[in-house]
Structure 1
Amino acid sequence: MPTTTEDHSTSYARTDDRIVVTHRSRDTGRPLVLLDGQANNHHWWDGVRGDFDKTHRTISLGYRGTGTSDKPRDGYSTPRLAQDAVAVLDSLGIERADGYGTSMGGQVAQWIAVRHPGRALGCTSPGGPYAVERDTPVRRSLAQADPEAVRQALTDLMYSPGWLVRHSAGPHHTLGDPTMPPLARCGHLLASDRHNTWEALPSITVPTLILHTDHHRLTPARNVALLAGRIPDTRTHLFPGARHAYFEEGRPEAGTPVRDFFS
C-alpha cells in the first residue's frame, strides 16, 4: 500500500522480471523522473527535490538493489535499470515524462531517451571505448580496503573543499546507500562500468540538456563534447568550481537551467 510523507507518497512497481521497485512521487504537476547515481537511492535528491516541486510532479525510484526495493543477485545493467524506471511510470499511468539523471542516472537516462523521449543528463558519459574515463589515482582511491578512506575519497570527489567547510555536518546525500548488500553494490558498479550507448545516441530524437562541471575527476568534462557530438539536438551548461554533486552544492542555482529547459 502507498504511504505518505509530507506531500510525497511512497509506493512500488513490479518490473517485467518480477522485481519490486519502490518510488516516491507527488500527485500533481508535469511528471519529472529523477534518476540518481550508482549505489544510491532516492535520498540522492533529498537536498534538491523541492526546487522542482512548484513546476513538476517529481518521481524518484530506489533502483533494484537499493533502499526498500528488491535486491536480486543479478540483473544489473543500465538498460535494465532504464526499464525499471519505465515500469514505475507505467504503474503510475504516465505515458510521457521529463527526465533528469545525474552520474549513473545520466547513463540510465540515455537509454530511456533512446526508447522514450524527453531527458536532461548531468555529469555522465556515453561509456564504452570512446568515453573519457577517470584517472588511475581516482580509481585507486575508490578501491581502498578501508571503508572510511573510500568515503573520504568519494566526499572529496563529490564536493569542493569550500563547500565542505561550510557544510561539514552534512547531510551529504550522495555518498551511497549503506543498506546495499555487497552483491548489489557490485552489480551497480558493473552496470556503470559496462555502460555503452555510443552507437545508440544518434537515435535520440528529442532535445537534450547536458550538464557538467569544470572541475571533475569522477566523470571528466571532456565527455560533454562526446555526448553533444553524438546526440543530434543538445544544449550544454557548465557549472564552474563545483564537483560531481554540482546539483546539491550549487543549489538553488543549479536547478534553474533544468527548469528553464523543460519549460
Structure 2
Amino acid sequence: MTSQTRTAITTGDGVRIAYRFDGDENKPVLLLSNSIGTDLHMWDGQVAALTEHFRLLRYDARGHGASDVPSGPYSLDRLGRDVVELLDALGLQRVHVLGLSLGGVVAQWLGIHVPERVERLVLSNTAAYLGPANQWDRPIADLLAAPDMRATAEMFLHNWFPAHMLRGDDEVVEGFRRTLLATRREGVAGSWAAVRDYDLRRTATLIHNPTLVIAGEHDTVTSAEHGKELAATVPGAGFTVLPTVHMANVEGQAEFLDAVLAFLTEQS
C-alpha cells in the first residue's frame, strides 16, 4: 500500500483545502467526506479495510483540520464546489463517494449537480433536510460568543456515540474530543450555516447514480426516519439501518464496512 501525507489545493476563492491519498494508485478512487467537527482522521479505523479495494482520497472540509478557516457562513454549493475543484486539481474524472452527516449532504450535492463525476454514492447518517432554518441561528450565535469549544465538543460527542463509549477514557472517543477542541469555532459555525440553509428534499430526486443510504437506529442527529425518507427520494436507492448512534463508521465498524463494501464492489 502506498500512502501520502497531507498536501493541499487552493480553491477559486482562495481557500486552502488539505487532502491525502491512501492505497494503491491503480485501484478505483473512493472519496470520503466528513461530518462537522471532524477531520479526515475520522476514517482512520476504516482505512485498512477500504484500501484493500480502493485508493482513498480524504480531505479536510473548509473550516476543519489542516484546511483554511474562512469566517462567515458557508454554503452547501461552496462545500460541493470545494470537492469538484479538488477532483479537477487531481485530474480525477469519476470517483465513488462516501459521505457521513454533513459529508453525506455534500455527497448528495455531488450526485445532483455533477453526476458525471460520481460512480456510486454512499450516504451515511445524513438527511435531505434538517430544518426549520431558524433553529440553527441561536446555536451559531452561542458558539461564536463562547470562550472556547469545550461545551460544543461535549454536545457533539454525546450526539455521536452511545453512553458506554462515553464512560471512562475510550481511546477513539478521546481522539474525536481532541479534534473537536482543536477545531476553530468559525469553522463549525460556518458549516452549521450550510446545514441551516440547505434543502434537498426535491432535488435529491435528480440523483441517478447507484446509491446506498445508511442510517443509525439510535441516531438523534439524522434519524433513521431521515434516512428512510432520503432513500425513498433517491430513485432506486438501497437502505440499511445499523444498530448505532451517529458515527456508524466507528461504533458499528464491522457492519458498516460490510454494507459499504458489498455495495461498492457489487457488479453492475
Give the TM-score taking structure 1 as reference length. Answer: 0.85
Q: Please say which of residues 211-220 and 99-108 is displaced more in the overlay.
A: 211-220
Partner of 1:15: 11
Q: Does 1:159 align with 2:176?
A: no
Q: Give the C-alpha shift of residue 14 in structure 1.
A: 2.0
In 1, the alpha carbon distance for the partners of 2:130 and 2:167 equals: 36
The answer as to whether partners of 1:128 and 1:194 remain within 8 angstroms in 2 is no
In 2, the alpha carbon distance for the partners of 1:171 and 1:215 equals: 18
Deviations 1:136-187 (A, max 9, x none): xxx8xx9796854443332222111234458624354545543333322210
In 2, the alpha carbon distance for the partners of 1:173 and 1:85 equals: 25
Q: Alpha carbons of 1:208 and 1:171: their partners in 2 closer, same or farther (altered >3 Å)?
A: same
In 2, the alpha carbon distance for the partners of 1:189 and 1:95 equals: 29
5+ residue gaps, structure 1:
1-5
5+ residue gaps, structure 2:
none
Higher helix share: 2
In 1, the alpha carbon distance for the partners of 2:71 and 2:166 equals: 36
| Counterpart secondary structure, 1:111 | helix
| Residue-pair matches, total | 253
| Counterpart secondary structure, 1:8 | coil
Q: Give the C-alpha shift of residue 45 in structure 1.
A: 1.3
Task: State the AA in 2 paired with 1:100.
Answer: L
In 2, the alpha carbon distance for the partners of 1:78 and 1:227 equals: 17
Give the alignment partner of residue 209 of structure 1, picking from 212, 232, 245.
212
Q: Alignment identity in percent? A: 24
Give the TM-score taking structure 2 as reference length. Answer: 0.83
Q: Does 1:179 align with 2:182?
A: yes
Give the alignment partner of residue 82 of structure 2, picking from 69, 73, 84.
84
The answer as to whether partners of 1:127 and 1:197 remain within 8 angstroms in 2 is yes
Q: How does 1:193-232 map to 2 (within 5 A)?
A: 193-232=196-235
Q: Does 1:34 align with 2:32?
A: yes
Partner of 2:257: 255
The answer as to whether partners of 1:120 and 1:210 remain within 8 angstroms in 2 is yes
Q: Give the C-alpha shift of residue 98 in structure 1.
A: 0.3
Q: How does 1:54-65 map to 2 (within 5 A)?
A: 54-65=52-63
Q: Does 1:190 align with 2:193?
A: yes
Partner of 2:67: 69
Cα root mean square deviation, aligned? 2.9
Task: State the AA in 2 paired with 1:258.
Answer: V
